[in-house]
Amino acid sequence: MNAPLRRVGLVVIVLFGLLFANLNWIQAYKADDYRNSDYNGRVQVAEYERKRGNIEAGGTALAVSKETGGELKYLRTYPGGPKYAHVIGYKPVNLADTGIEESENEFLAGTSDRLIGDRLRDLVTGDETAGANVLLTISKQAQDVAYEQLRKNRLGVKKGAAIALDPSTGAVQALVSMPSFDPDPLASHDTDEATAAFNELQQDPDGPLKNRVLKEVLPPGSTFKIVTAAAALENGVTTETKIPAGPSWTPPTSGQPIGNAAPSICPEAEVTLMNAVTESCNTGFAQLGVRLGADTLKEKARQFGFDQDEDDLTVGRIGEDGESVATSRTGSMENADGSVDPAALAQSSIGQRDVRMTPLQGALIAATVAHDGRQMSPYLVSQILGPDRTTNYYPTTKPRELRQPVSGEVAADLRAMMVSAVENGTGRNARIGGYTVGGKTGTAQDGDKPPHGWFIGFALDKDGKPVSAVCVVLESAGDSGSAEAARIAGQIMRAAIASPGSR
């Protein structure tokens, strides 16, 4: 055989080898992906042969499946409507699943290995046993209040978010992102109708599909001062230590002075750390942050959960995949040559500059302070019950500690300062009769937009046990935004406390 033919033969052998390798790759490694693809029509028909399990909260079904008599035998509907859209997500025919519908799909669809007994029984009986039912931690009362208060806030703000947690367990009591949307059109069996509904929502400039609680980050403003205060308490400062303050302060190397929200706020040359938190003293915390240094501040923020791209921080079933969470970040505090920029550090210490935070992170900060410095992993799924509602495939969730950012002693000092901020300072609107409430407001500048209004806080019962922690943000709400956020937070915590089963 001459050389050209040998080369051709070698090329053909190599091509056949590549084809064989690709075939094995598809059949062995990628088989499940193709078999379970949302775009596999046979899988879609098979999936709709079995009635999908309910998603429920407080004994009420928020996502159910109804018989259609068509090729796709069951239609997914959402009696909870827009109020629960960002909690549950949606299950479309040709679009991607989201939320609990995605993270618990195997149980809801009845395809989980844990349901093998049901499927074996179906082989004998010829039945198609329904999928399992997912029970959520959500308090219906707290969710109702959070949704209505955000939707009808006194400032007429259209965009915002609220989340409430049980500080002792991490169980999510309420989760609302506004504006919201109706999931029903997205689950329509008319794929053209569903696609048109999705495109309309996707193109809405207010972003109703965005889960602002988990996936959107904004400058947190003065709520970040709790992190700065925690770093100070661990570095020789006490609640009664006097720190430099004053009506205005210009950081070294910067010509831009930092002032307070009003002339009446800490005009003195020095104030105690307690008063600095109570009054929300910008000049005091800016100078304190520069004194602590960028490394100290960034490390304390990291310990609370900032700057951590961790795969396990999802919100669904504890210890399992759930709705992913955007990373809260402290941003840059350095010059181009790597040296610390005092002006950037000063602004970052009061939650400005490049600091960005999710509402979930804000709630976790408040929950950590309330729970003696222990931060619990947030979760939404409490139980998974079989179609017969007696088989418990996922027993009542056991809480899991995520991290301990501060000691019990530091947490106690932070609690005292946050309680003072509600009783004597900027967070008065969050007060709840018969409970001790602590919190911190934040008014965050964000470019040319009106400032965002924030509030993070917690409620303790008469025995000092934490019963709820919350974060509320109203986007571009103006100077009154933080006071309105505090009022809404108080209403949500009151509803969470009054829910059946609350302590």
3-state percent helix, strand, coil for the chain, nearest multiple of 5? 40, 20, 40
What Å distances lie between residue 19 and 43, 44, 312, 438, CA to CA?
Answer: 26, 29, 38, 65
Angle at CA 134, nearest 5°, toward 138 and 467?
A: 25
* CB contact at 8 A, 157 and 476: yes
* Phi and psi at residue 391, to the nearest 5°: -75, 125
Whole-angstrom distance, CA of residue 432 vs CA of residue 487: 10
Whole-angstrom distance, CA of residue 399 vs CA of residue 379: 9
Q: Can you list the positions of beta strands (E) in 290-359?
A: 314-316, 322-324
3 state SS of 423: helix
**Sign of the C-alpha dihedral, residues 46, 48, 49, 54?**
positive
Annotated catalytic residue: which of 112, 139, 180, 222? 222
Pairing, β 133-136 against β 381-385: antiparallel
Question: 13-16 long-range contacts, Cβ below 8 Å, gap at least 24?
Answer: none
3 state SS of 87: helix
State in Å, rounded, how far the first CA of the chain is from the last one. 87
Whole-angstrom distance, CA of residue 410 vs CA of residue 367: 14
Burial label, 158 (beta-carbon count in 10 A; 0-12, 13-18, 19+) = middle
Active site residue 222: yes
Other C-beta atoms closer than 10 Å to the C-beta of 410 total 19
Give me the residues paired with residue 453 across strands. Answer: 443, 474
Whole-angstrom distance, CA of residue 209 vs CA of residue 195: 14
Whose tokens are 């949500």? That residue is 492
* CB contact at 8 A, 332 and 339: no
**Three-state DSSP string of 182-202:** CCHHHHCCCHHHHHHHHHHHH
Whole-angstrom distance, CA of residue 86 vs CA of residue 431: 28
Which residues are part of the catalytic machinery?
A: 222
